[in-house]
């Protein structure tokens, strides 16, 4: 059994806590969060202790930490964990400031860092990747990724989120890199505030279409919206020289209703906690493998590359031109 500590007792922290507690090779020993009540609730639920960071890092029993605190604290927790020799499972994004992550990278070089790009662990997208890798549809040429949230987050979250590209599209940037098998070199983005003027008022956008181009001229489209009235829309289409492979939305049931106005299917799983519940479990299982010595399947370099794409997208929105990706 490997003991781990959880930093952050919010929404995503409670998911990771439950998955860690359910995993046979992991024990959730500590929960760290300045919000004492939230920390206490999770600790009690899973038989862990509420602790402060120093206590966690000083405990030689702790093999790894899960960083699921607010984004602005991710990097500091990662650095402290690396200094203490703990393995790290860090929620995305690792930080909002690319330069800051690049500066910190040498200090994280020796650490084992698993980045929480959960979509790489999703069964649908893994099946898609397996089809692509099998060569069933020839060589990959272009990719269309649709990623629409059901409803915008509270405006207080939007203010500190780092903006649509660093907070939301960051997942799609990682998915694009994973499926393309090469890092895009050029980004164009057009973005608007169409959903809620309050989002525009705090300087962010809620709707974007992003185009990525790789060195081999393969193209990728990312479609983002903060609001889709019909649920969480998460689809990927990969177009190859011999056909196409797509992953569609997962519905709440396989039910369909046929009546006079037409045929209707059940709704899409409503948000990421439902749609990616299984993926969160699998990424925690992978963290257990990392603690047992495996190389993280998605790590620091991926975190930096996704952030570089987000930054290029922001530059493109500002300049109206395509922006090179800073390598």
Partner 1 sequence: MTRGAFKVALLGAGRMGQIHGRNAAANPRLDLAYVVEPRTELASNLAVELGGRTATLAEALADPDLAGVLVATSTDTHLDLVLASLEAGKAVFCEKPLDLEPANLRAHVDALARPGAPLYVAFNRRFDPHFQALKARLDAGDIGRLETLHLISHDPAAPPPSFIPTSGGLFRDFTIHDFDMARWLLQESPTEVFAFAACLVDPAIAEAGDVDTARLVLRCASGRLCVISNTRRSGYGYDQRVEAYGSKGAAIVGNPRVSTVQTWGEAGSAAAPIFPSFAARYAQSYRAELDHFADVLAGQASPLTGYDASLGALLLADAALRSVRERRSIAVERL
Task: Fill in the per-residue mask, 247 to 266: x = in contact with partner 1 (CB under 8 A), - = not in contact.
Answer: --------------------
- Nearest to residue 227, comparing CAs of 198, 185, 184, 188? 198
Judged by CB under 8 A, the residue of 41, 49, 84, 137 near partner 1 is 137
d(CA 56, CA 63): 10
| Nearest to partner 1 of 10, 152 (CB atom) | 152
d(CA 78, CA 5): 12
Contact flag: residue 131 with partner 1 (CB under 8 A): no
CB of 213 to partner 1, least distance (A): 5
Sheet holding 323-324, edge to edge: 243-247, 233-240, 140-148, 219-225, 207-213, 186-192, 323-324
CB of 228 to partner 1, least distance (A): 7
Contact flag: residue 183 with partner 1 (CB under 8 A): no
| Nearest to partner 1 of 84, 194 (CB atom) | 194
d(CA 181, CA 316): 23
Return left, alpha or beta for 262; rule: phi > 0 is left, psi -120 to 50 is alpha, else beta. left
- Nearest to residue 182, comparing CAs of 305, 311, 310, 96? 305
- DSSP H/E element including 29: strand 26-32
Contact flag: residue 148 with partner 1 (CB under 8 A): yes
CB of 140 to partner 1, least distance (A): 10
Using DSSP's 3-state secondary structure scheme, residue 35 falls into coil
Non-local (6+) Cβ contacts of 179 within 8 A are 128, 129, 132, 140, 143, 236, 238
| Nearest to partner 1 of 18, 317 (CB atom) | 317
| Nearest to partner 1 of 225, 234 (CB atom) | 225
Which residues in the 185-244 window bind partner 1 by CB under 8 A?
A: 186, 188, 190, 192-195, 207-209, 211, 213, 217-221, 223, 225, 227-230, 233, 239-244
Return left, alpha or beta for 182; rule: phi > 0 is left, psi -120 to 50 is alpha, else beta. beta
| Nearest to partner 1 of 80, 193 (CB atom) | 193
Judged by CB under 8 A, the residue of 49, 70, 142, 315 near partner 1 is 142
Which residues in the 292-321 window bind partner 1 by CB under 8 A?
A: 319-321
| Nearest to partner 1 of 102, 267 (CB atom) | 267
Residues contributing to the site for partner 1 (CB under 8 A): 137-138, 141-142, 144, 146, 148, 186, 188, 190, 192-195, 207-209, 211, 213, 217-221, 223, 225, 227-230, 233, 239-244, 319-322
């Amino acid at each position: 059994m490997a003991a781990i500590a959880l930093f952050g007792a919010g929404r995503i922290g409670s998911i990771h806590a439950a998955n860690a507690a359910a995993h046979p090779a992991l024990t959730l020993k500590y929960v760290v969060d300045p919000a004492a009540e939230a920390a206490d609730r999770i600790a009690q639920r899973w038989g862990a202790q509420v602790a402060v960071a120093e206590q966690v890092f000083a405990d030689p029993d702790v093999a790894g930490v899960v960083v699921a605190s607010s984004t602005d604290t991710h990097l500091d927790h990662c650095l402290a964990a690396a200094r203490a020799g703990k393995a790290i499972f860090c929620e995305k994004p690792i930080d909002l400031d690319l330069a800051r992550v690049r500066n910190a990278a040498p200090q994280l070089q020796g650490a084992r860092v698993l980045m929480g790009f959960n979509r790489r662990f999703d069964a649908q997208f893994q099946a898609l990747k397996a089809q692509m890798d099998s060569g069933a549809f020839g060589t990959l040429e272009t990719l269309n990724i649709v990623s629409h949230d059901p409803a915008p987050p509270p405006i207080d979250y939007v203010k500190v989120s780092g903006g649509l590209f660093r907070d939301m599209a960051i997942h799609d940037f990682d998915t694009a890199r994973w499926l393309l098998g090469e890092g895009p070199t050029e980004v164009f983005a057009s973005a608007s505030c169409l959903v809620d003027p309050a989002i525009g008022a705090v300087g962010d956008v809620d709707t974007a279409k992003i185009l990525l181009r790789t060195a081999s001229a393969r193209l990728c489209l990312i479609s983002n919206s903060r609001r889709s009235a019909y649920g969480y829309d998460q689809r990927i289409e990969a177009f190859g020289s011999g056909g196409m492979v797509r992953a569609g939305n997962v519905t709440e049931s396989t039910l369909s209703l046929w009546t006079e106005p037409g045929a209707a299917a059940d709704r899409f799983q409503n948000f990421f906690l439902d749609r990616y519940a299984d993926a969160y479990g699998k990424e925690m299982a992978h963290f257990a493998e990392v603690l047992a010595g495996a190389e993280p399947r998605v790590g620091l370099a991926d975190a930096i590359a996704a952030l570089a794409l987000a930054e290029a997208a922001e530059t493109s929105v500002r300049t109206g031109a395509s922006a090179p990706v800073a390598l």
